Amino acid sequence: MTLRPRSIRVRLAIWYAAALAAIVVAFALGIYLFVRSSLLREVDAQLERDLATVSRVLREEPFEINELAQHGSVEFFQVSQGNEVVAETPGWSREVLEKALAGLPHGPGRSWRSHSGQAFRIRSVVLPGAGQSRVVAVAESEQTLRTSLESIGMILLFGIPIAVVLAVAGGYFLAGRVLNPIEEITALAGAITAERLSERLPVDNPGDEFGRLAQMLNGTFARLEDSFERLRRFSADASHELRTPLTALRSVGEVGLQRELDAAGCREVIASMLEETDRLTKLVDCLLTLSRGDAGGLTVTRVRVDLAEMAADAVDMIGVLAEEKGQVIELEAGAGVCAMVNPEMLRQALINLLDNAVKYSPPGRIDLRVYRTERGEAALEVQDQGPGIAREHQELIFDRFYRADPGRSREQGGAGLGLAITRQAVELNGGRIQLESEAGQGCRFTILFPLV
C-alpha cells in the first residue's frame, strides 16, 4: 500500500517541507562543520604560538624554562628528555596531561579528554639537541570551542524542527492560496450543466496557468454548446420536415375516404400518397446518410477514380431531367484527372450539385468541367446560369436544412440537405468544396481533391 494523500494541497505542503528540511539540514551541517574547523584552526594557531614561545626560551634561555612554567603566559606545557621531566606547568601536572602523549606519535594537534573531564588540544614536537633530544608538548583547553559548538548544535537541533513545522504550515497555507482558483473553477465548472452551457468561467488572468485552463474549458463549453445547439436545431428541423409529407399523406387519405371514388379516383389518391411516401423515403435516406457520416466510425473505401468518367456517368443520369427543363449539360473533361475517392459518395455529391443546377436554373446551359488546377489539384466544377446565391447565404448554404429561398426550394421538393450531404461526402474523402456566386449571375461550385 502506498501512502499518497489525495489532496494536492497536502502533497504540495509535504514536498515543500521535505525539500526545505533537506536544504536546512544540509546548510546547518555545513555551518556546523565550518565553525568547528575555524575554531580548531584558531586553537591550533594558539598551540603553534605556545610551542614557539617554549622552544625559543629553551633555545635562548634554557635556565628560565622553569620560571616560564611557573609564572609564564603558557598555561599548559611540558618539556621532557628521555623519561625525565625537565619542566612542566602546574596545570599540566594537575590535569595529568602526559597521559595524552603516551603511545601517540608526535605531530599535529589532536583532541584529548583529561581525567577531570576537560577537553584539551595537544601538540608535541621533538627538538633535536646535542645529547638526548627533548620533547616539548603544549596543550590548550578546548572548553570554549566545545561550548560554542554545543550552543550552535542546540540552536540548530531545536531550530530545524521549528523551521520544518513552520514550513509545513506555510506550505499548506501557500498551496491553499495557489490552488484556490482550481477550487473555484471546479465549483463553477461543476455547476455548468447541459441546460446552462452558455455560462462561462471567469478568466482573471488569461496569461497564467489557471487563466489558460479556464480559457480551455470555456472553449470546450463553447464547442459543446455549439454541438448541442446544432443537434437541437437538427432535430427540430428534421421533425418539421418529416411532418410536412406526413400531414400531406394524412390529408390526401382523409379526403379520399370522405369522397365516393371510382377506380380511377382511388388510383389518383394512391398515386398522391405514394408521391408523399417517396418524398418521406428520400428525406429519411438523406438523414441516414448524414448521421452515418457524423458517427465518425464510417470507413470510406477510397480507390483511384478518373473524374472525367465519373462526370460522364453523372451527366447520363441527370441529362433526362435537364432535357425536360430545356437545359443542356456541357461536359468538358481533361484526360487523366484522377483522385483517390469513394466513387459512390463522390457520384452522389456531383449529382446533388447537378440536380440543384437543373432545379434552380432557367432553360439554358449548365457547364460541367473536369480539370487540374494550377495548384495541382483535381477539380470538378458545376456552373449554371441560374439566380445565383446572395453573399449572406453563401456561408450557410452547406448547413443542414438551410434554404436560401425556402418557398421556392420546397416547391422543388428540396429539404435543404443536398449541399450538406455533398460537403460531408467531399470532406470525408479528403477534399473541399467552394462556391463562387453573385446574386443573379449563376453559381459555380468546385470540388477539389489532391491529384493522384
Nearer to ligand ADP, 122 or 417 (CB): 417
CB 205 within 8 A of CB 211: yes
Residue range at the interface with ligand ADP (CB under 6 A); choices 93-101, 109-117, 259-267, 384-392:
384-392
Nearer to ligand ADP, 339 or 389 (CB): 389
Q: Is 389 in the site for ligand ADP (CB under 6 A)?
A: yes
Instruction: Map residue 341 onto helix, strand or coil.
Output: strand
Residue range at the interface with ligand ADP (CB under 6 A); choices 193-201, 289-297, 326-334, 408-416:
408-416
Closest by Cα among 179, 176, 159, 109 to 137: 109
Rama region for 388: left / alpha / beta (φ>0; ψ in -120 to 50; rest): left
Q: Is 425 in the site for ligand ADP (CB under 6 A)?
A: no
Please name the amino acid found at residue 370. V
Nearer to ligand ADP, 132 or 239 (CB): 239
Residue range at the interface with ligand ADP (CB under 6 A); choices 17-25, 143-151, 323-331, 350-358:
350-358
Q: Is 241 in the site for ligand ADP (CB under 6 A)?
A: no
| Residue spans of beta strands (DSSP E) within 312-373 | 327-333, 338-341, 364-372
- Residue for grid cell 434554404: 403
Report the C-alpha gap between 48 and 44 in whole angstroms.
6
CB 286 within 8 A of CB 417: yes
Instruction: Map residue 137 onto helix, strand or coil.
Output: strand
Q: Is 381 in the site for ligand ADP (CB under 6 A)?
A: no
CB 176 within 8 A of CB 16: no
CB 121 within 8 A of CB 108: no
Q: Is 181 in the site for ligand ADP (CB under 6 A)?
A: no
| Residue spans of beta strands (DSSP E) within 356-420 | 364-372, 377-383
Q: Is 383 in the site for ligand ADP (CB under 6 A)?
A: no
Closest by Cα among 325, 282, 230, 247 to 414: 282
CB of 416 to ligand ADP, least distance (A): 4
Nearer to ligand ADP, 417 or 426 (CB): 417
Report the C-alpha gap between 388 and 360 in whole angstroms.
9
Nearer to ligand ADP, 9 or 403 (CB): 403
Report the C-alpha gap between 151 and 149 in whole angstroms.
5
Residue from the set 181, 386, 426, 431 that interacts with ligand ADP by CB under 6 A: 386
Q: Is 424 in the site for ligand ADP (CB under 6 A)?
A: no
Residue range at the interface with ligand ADP (CB under 6 A); choices 6-14, 24-32, 271-279, 402-410:
402-410
Q: Is 356 in the site for ligand ADP (CB under 6 A)?
A: yes
Work out the angle between the directed axes of helices 418-428 and 343-360 (0-180°, nearest 10). Answer: 150
Nearer to ligand ADP, 409 or 429 (CB): 409
Residue from the set 397, 426, 428, 433 that interacts with ligand ADP by CB under 6 A: 397
Q: Is 314 in the site for ligand ADP (CB under 6 A)?
A: no
Q: Is 414 exposed, middle or buried (0-12, 13-18, 19+ CB in 10 A)?
A: buried
CB of 314 to ligand ADP, least distance (A): 15
Nearer to ligand ADP, 214 or 433 (CB): 433
Q: Is 87 in the site for ligand ADP (CB under 6 A)?
A: no
Q: Is 308 in the site for ligand ADP (CB under 6 A)?
A: no
> What is the number of the residue whose Cβ is closest to ligand ADP?
414
Q: How far is CA 359 from its chain centroid? A: 51
**H helices, E strands: number in the chain:** 11, 12
Task: Kindly state the DSSP code that residue 362 receives in the 8-state scheme.
Answer: P
Residue from the set 80, 89, 409, 429 that interacts with ligand ADP by CB under 6 A: 409
Contacts of 299 (CB under 8 A, 6+ apart): none
**Total chain residues near ligand ADP (CB under 6 A):** 22
Q: Is 360 in the site for ligand ADP (CB under 6 A)?
A: yes
Contact pattern for ligand ADP over residues 431 through 450, marking x by CB under 6 A: ------------x-------
- Note the residues at the interface with ligand ADP (CB under 6 A): 352, 356-357, 360, 384, 386-387, 389, 397, 402-405, 409, 414-420, 443
